[in-house]
Amino acid sequence: MFINKNLIGFAGNYKKKLLFVSFLQALQTLTLSAISLLTAFIVKRLIRNFEATVFDDLWSIFVAIFSLVILRFAISKYASVQALKCSVGIKRNLRTRLQKKIFVLGPAYTGKHRTGGIVSTIWSKVEWLNDYYAKYVPSAISAIINTIIIFAILILIDPIVAITCLLFSAAVLVCPIAFYQIMKDKGFKEASASAKYYSDCLDGIQGIVTLKSFNSNDKQREKINNQGEILRKTIMQHLSITFLENLTLEFFARLGAAATVVVGIVRALNGNMEIENLVYILFLSTAWLNPMSAMISAWHKGYRGATGAEKISDMLKQDTSISLFNKFEENIDNLSYLINNDNNRNLDVSFIDVNFFYNKKEKQVLKNISFNIPNGTTLAIVGPSGSGKSTIANLLCGFYRTDTGSIKVGDKILNEENVLSIQNQISAVWQENYLFYGTCYDNILMGNPNATHEEVINATKRANIHNFIMNLENGYDTVVGERGVRLSSGEKQRISIARAFLKDTPLIIFDEATSALDRRNEIAIQNSLNKLIAGKTTLVIAHRLETIKNAEQILVLRDGFIEGTGTHKELLGKSNFYQKLMSIQV
């Protein structure tokens, strides 16, 4: 029987339910063994007119057999339903754990791993566990219990026969463990190939516009076909080992049943056992073989769960040292008590000697960054691509943990204890805005799920998107498609800005918030943004002069260092690097 600590851990609070299902399966198996034993009573009585000690006549034995058949049918139906419920519950809880883990890992993890691979683990690999929990575990436990009981009966008949049966039982149960390392390696290759194939397919669907624009359909299709062929080969390699293992299991099981009977015959012929007891040995060996065969069949269906568990375990064990959320990894659903809802409106923001690496093996992104944004003022950050502008915004939002130094918001240091409270006071509009599949209204309401309909409408008007939405086919109930595919970049950005208006927090972050807008819309949105940030602490990342020139402070970044600070006028007078940045705009 194959069970490891990962698979036990995945069962979580369903362990008792799994044991109950296994108990039902054991009862179902034992009823079949009892039927075999009763049949042996009948045969022996017919041969030797044997009077059974429990039953007065043959009819009572037939009644007992019929009752056991009915009982077995009822248990079988009930056990199947309970096994399915148990399996579904385990999968649901495990997927929830994986989603929590992804939330804890955040952009540090999702930025380095393909979406298809992550989704493949959360969906496909977890789905592989279904047959393992619903079929293999109950079958294996019931086979073990059945073997123990049959061994106890056989030992009363003849110890040598009982030991023969026990040895082959051990061989069948140990075989999956012996094959595990090979199965693990093959399973890991299959899981990796499956994730890559899924990712390539997802890329092809999400990037269909780009593929058509560059007439690259054939190239992408060829790439998917090649990866599909790799996946086919890895599956066949995995299956070949599985077939070999199953063949070995079947060999030991059937040889064990035959050997038990043969040893019994030899013992009887040598006068070591009553020859009439061969009837019991014959039927009990069959009663032992059937559950073993059922277990082997279940293992053939459930082996992928054992190999898929490695991928699932790898994701759950991912290091969260870069995240501020690792403290909440196992209890992320019950965090509302940690969010301070008083929304302190007086928020100075300070970065104090902040150093940061995305990866220690790569170059340092931020180097001794220190600055202060007084409450109610705006700080604009400018610099070339890769200078660390967006990283500062990500750190302020709590997506990552600083390597050294600290970030202070109001009177709180940004850490595990108050990251949620601080995030509750931040609204952000990013350079790349994500819209979820659903309606325009649902996507805007995400800014404040408790907002009224009037508040949503007011937010869209201030973001200059209300008229556009009303002209859509279904107005606010129009479905935007996956990733907002039915909207333009500017329209998606204005919906994201409407979210920020709706959340209405004292701290605002704009990361190239007007970069996707045409000049006319940019002016309209900029006027709305000026109203939104009035009296609020604001961090603006932008290239355009119109966006930054009125900021109380401008921070110039270059290769992770602060090149200079000051107002627009001051920097034009003292920073050649800033002058070059602005001259590019001219």
3-state secondary structure 481-495: CHHHCCCCHHHHHHH
Torsions phi, psi of 481, nearest 5? 85, 170
Residue 453 lies in a domain: no
Q: What is the pLDDT of residues 299-349, one digit of tens each?
A: 777 777 777 787 888 888 887 777 777 665 545 555 544 444 445 556 889
Residue 471 lies in a domain: no
**Cβ-contact 463, 514 below 8 angstroms:** no
Give the neighbor-by-neighbor strand order of the sheet with 412-413: 366-373, 349-356, 404-409, 412-413
Of 289, 314, 339, the one marking the end of a domain is 314
Residues 351 and 294 in one domain: no
Residues 103 and 199 in one domain: yes
Of 294, 314, 334, the one marking the end of a domain is 314
Under the banding of pLDDT at 50, 70 and 90, the label for residue 355 is very high
Where residue 327 sits, what CATH number does that domain have? 3.40.50.300
Structural domain tally of the chain?
2
Range of the domain at 71: 5-314
The average confidence (pLDDT) of the chain is: 82
Share of the chain above pLDDT 70, in %: 90
Residues 278 and 420 in one domain: no
The pLDDT of residue 337 is: 42
The encoded tokens of residue 296 equal 């082997």
Which letter, b or e, does each residue of 347-362 get, where b requires 16 or more Cβ atoms within 10 Å of its Cβ? bebbbbebebebeeee
Give the neighbor-by-neighbor strand order of the sheet with 378-382: 426-429, 507-511, 537-541, 378-382, 553-558, 561-566
The pLDDT of residue 338 is: 45
Q: Regarding predicted confidence, which is higher, 269 or 585?
A: 269
Residues 274 and 331 in one domain: no
Residues 12 and 51 in one domain: yes
Q: Regarding predicted confidence, which is higher, 102 or 530?
A: 102
